[in-house]
Amino acid sequence: MNPLLEIENLRVTFPTPRGDLEVVRGLSFTLGRERLGIVGESGSGKSMTGRSILKLVRAPGRVTADKLTFDGIDLLTRSERQMRPIRGARISMVMQDPKFSLNPVMTIGEQIAEALLTHQRLPRREVNNRVLTMLESVRIADPERVAKLYPHEVSGGMGQRVMIAMMLIPEPDLLIADEPTSALDVSVQAQVLDIIDELVKRKGMGLIFISHDLNLVSSYCDRILVMNTGEVVEECKAGELMNAKHPYTRGLIASIPRLDETRTELPVLDRSAWAKK
Amino acid sequence: MTAISLKNLDIFYGEAHITHDVNLEIADGESFALVGESGSGKSTVLKAIAGLAPEWTGEINVFGKPRSHGIDRAFSRQCQMVFQDPYGSLHPRKTVDATLGEALTIHGIGDRSARIEEVMSSVGLDRKFRFRFPHQLSGGQRQRVAIARALMLKPKVLLLDEPTSALDVSVQAEILNLLKRLRQEQNLTFLMVTHNLPVVSFLCDRLAVMRQGRIVEVADVADLKRGDLKDPYSRELMHISAAHAN
C-alpha cells in the first residue's frame, strides 16, 4: 500500500531583521495509516510541521520541500483553491483550545453541519442525523440538547469533543491533532484521547499527534519523532521511548517529576551541549 | 505556628456559591497543595486569601491575624501570589525593573536598586535582563520574573496558582527546582494549586483534594507516593495520573 503522506526535506523559513530564521530544518518522514507522535518543546517546529502539511503557513513564512505528497497528490503545487477540497475533507486538524477555535455565534449543531456541508450536498434530515450520530460517537450523552447550545455554554472538555466531532464528520483520511488536550484537565484528557484513538482505529485513519507531553504521546501512538530546534533528533517506536538514546530525549524524560518522586532535585537540560554544531 | 488558617470559608462570585465550608491549617514552613479539576474551587481559595475574591464568609487568618475583605498593605508584605500564565501576568509595557520596583514604591521602601538585583540573582536571572520587556523573555524567564516580583517584599507565604502548567517539562523542572531552593533558603510557606500530582509529589508535604467546592480529603504526600489515598475521588485522580506516567 502506498504511504498516506510522504515528506522529504521540509523547511519552513521566516524572514527576520537579522536574516532568515529556519524553524523547520530538513524534516523527512512517511506516514501510513498509523499513529505518529511528534514531540518537542515550544519552538521546536512541531506545530509548524503540522501546519505546513495543510499549507496553513501564511506569508511571510515560506515552506519548501523536495517532496510533500498526500495520497499521491502533490501538495506543493496546489493552489489555495485546489487545497480547499483537501482541507477538512481529507486532512483535518484539531486545534489546541476549543475556546478560541469554535465560532462563538453559531450553535454547536450548525458548526458541525457546516463542516459536512462545505464538502458535500446532503438533504437536511440526513445532515441532522449525521450530526447527532457524530456527537454520540464522541460520547456526548444528549446530543439533541448539546447541538442547540453555543460554545460558551459547554465546558472545555465538551468543547474539545465537539471540535473532534467537527473534524471527523467529513471522514478524513488523516487527522492532525495539535496539542488536542493541553487546555484540559488530566481526568478529561484521557477521555478525549480515548475517543480520538477509538475513532482513528475504527475508521483506519492516519493520525499525527503533536504534543509536548512525552508520556501522553508514548501511550497513544505507534511511532514517535522527537524534535528539537526544527530537526528530528530521534525516531523510535512508542514502546521504546524509555530506552531513547539521544541526550535531548533522555533529558526530557528525566526532567518529568514522577508520582512517587524521591529525587530532591530534578535534572535540567544542558542546552549548550547540542544547541549549535 | 500556623501560617494560614481557613475556617468555614464560603466564597461567592455574585450569586454563585463557589466553595463550601473550607477548613485548612497550614503550618509555618510547610508546602501544601490544593488539587482538583477545573471548577473545583481550588484557585478561588487562593484568590480569596490574596484578596482578589472579596466576597466570602468565614475566617482567613495569616500568622494569627485575621484578613480583612479589602486591600491590606501589612498583609501583602506577608503573603504574595504567583499566577499561572507568565504570558498574561506581567505588564507588557513595563520592564522587569519597573515590575519588580513597583511594590517597593507602594510600600515606601528605599534601596531599590540593590533589592532588585538581590532578588533577581536569587531567582537565577542574569543582570542583563533587568531593563528588558516581557516579550523579550522566554516563558521560563518570565515565570522567574513573576516569582521575583512576589518575593520583592520578602513575604513569608507564597500562593502559587499552577506555577508551571504553562511551561515545557524541561523548563518546569528548572522552576520547580528554583521554588524548592527558595523555600529552603528563605524559609517560605507554600500554598500551591495544581492538577499535576507528580508536581505535588516533588514539591509538597501535604495535600488537600477538592471537588465541587468542598475538601474531600487531606493527606500526607507520603500517602500519595505509596498510592494510599482514602477518598474514592482522590483515588480516581491518582490512578489517572499513574496511568499517564505508565
**B136-189 pLDDT, tens per residue?**
888 889 999 999 999 999 999 999 998 988 788 888 999 999 999 999 999 999
The verdict on A42 touching B (C-beta cutoff 8 Å) is yes
The verdict on A273 touching B (C-beta cutoff 8 Å) is no
Q: Decide if pLDDT at A24 tops 50.
A: yes
Same domain flag for B97 and B195: no
* A98: preceding bond cis by omega (within 30 degrees): no
Same domain flag for B136 and B46: no
In this prediction, residue A99 carries a pLDDT of: 78
Fold of domain A79-256+266-275: Rossmann fold (3.40.50)
Residue B86 lies in a domain: no
**Chain A residues inside the 8 Å CB shell of B201:** 257-261
Q: Decide if pLDDT at A275 tops 70.
A: no
CATH number of the domain to which B23 belongs: 3.40.50.300
Same domain flag for B65 and B99: no
**Chain A residues inside the 8 Å CB shell of B168:** 41-42, 212
In terms of Cα–Cα distance, which of A196, A193, A218 is closest to A206? A196
The verdict on B88 touching A (C-beta cutoff 8 Å) is no
Written as one letter, the residue type at B33 is A
d(CA B150, CA B144): 10
Residue ranges of the alpha helices (H) in chain A? 46-53, 80-83, 98-101, 108-117, 124-137, 143-147, 156-168, 186-203, 214-220, 247-254
The verdict on A79 touching B (C-beta cutoff 8 Å) is no
Residue B177 lies in a domain: yes
In terms of Cα–Cα distance, which of A170, A8, A168, A172 is closest to A74? A8
**A51-79 pLDDT, tens per residue?**
999 998 888 899 999 999 999 899 999 99
d(CA A213, CA A146): 30
User: How much of chain A, in percent, has pLDDT values that exceed 70?
Assistant: 97
Residue B173 lies in a domain: yes
Which residue of A lies nearest to B204 if distances are taken between CA atoms? A261
Residue B85 lies in a domain: no
In this prediction, residue B244 carries a pLDDT of: 67
The overall average pLDDT reported for chain A is 88
Secondary structure string (H, E, C) spanning chain B: CEEEEEEEEEEEECCEEEEEEEEEEEECCCEEEEECCCCCCHHHHHHHHHCCCCCEEEEEEECCEECCCCCCHHHHHHEEEECCCCCCCCCCCCCHHHHHHHHHHHCCCCCHHHHHHHHHHHCCCCHHHCCCCHHHCCHHHHHHHHHHHHHCCCCCEEEEECCCCCCCHHHHHHHHHHHHHHHHHHCCEEEEEECCHHHHHHHCCEEEEEECCEEEEEEEHHHHHHCCCCCHHHHHHHHHHHHHCC
Helix, strand or coil, per DSSP, at residue A192: helix
Helix, strand or coil, per DSSP, at residue A170: coil
The more confidently predicted of residues A176 and B168 is: A176
Residue B87 lies in a domain: no
Same domain flag for B147 and B181: no
Q: Decide if pLDDT at A276 tops 50.
A: no
**Chain B residues inside the 8 Å CB shell of A233:** none
d(CA B110, CA A4): 66
Please name the residues in contact with A117: beta carbons below 8 A apart, sequence gap of 6 or more: A127
Q: Decide if pLDDT at B53 tops 80.
A: yes
Q: Do residues B49 and B191 make contact, with C-beta atoms less than 8 angstroms apart?
A: yes
Same domain flag for B222 and B202: yes
**Chain A residues inside the 8 Å CB shell of B38:** 155-156, 185
Look at A219 and B244 and tell me if their CB atoms are within 8 Å: yes
Query: Worst-scoring range by mean pLDDT, A15-19, A186-190, A242-246?
Result: A186-190
Nearest to A187 among B37, B139, B224 (CB): B37
Same domain flag for B163 and B144: no
Q: Do residues A10 and A26 make contact, with C-beta atoms less than 8 angstroms apart?
A: yes
The number of folded domains in chain B is 2
Going by pLDDT thresholds of 50, 70 and 90, the confidence category of residue B122 is very high
Going by pLDDT thresholds of 50, 70 and 90, the confidence category of residue A37 is very high
Domain of B99? 92-153
Q: Complex ipTM above 0.90?
A: no
- The Cα of A48 is separated from the nearest Cα of chain B by a number of Å equal to 17
Longest dimension (CA), chain B: 53
- The Cα of B147 is separated from the nearest Cα of chain A by a number of Å equal to 19
Q: Within 13 Å and on the Cβ side, how many CA atoms surround A88?
A: 17
The grid coordinates of residue B174 equal 528548572
| Chain A interface test: which of B142, B170, B201 (most A C-beta within 10 Å) | B170
**A111-124 pLDDT, tens per residue?**
999 999 988 889 99
In this prediction, residue B179 carries a pLDDT of: 95
Mean pLDDT of the region B204-211: 94
**Chain B residues inside the 8 Å CB shell of A269:** 170, 173
| Chain B interface test: which of A197, A233, A266 (most B C-beta within 10 Å) | A266
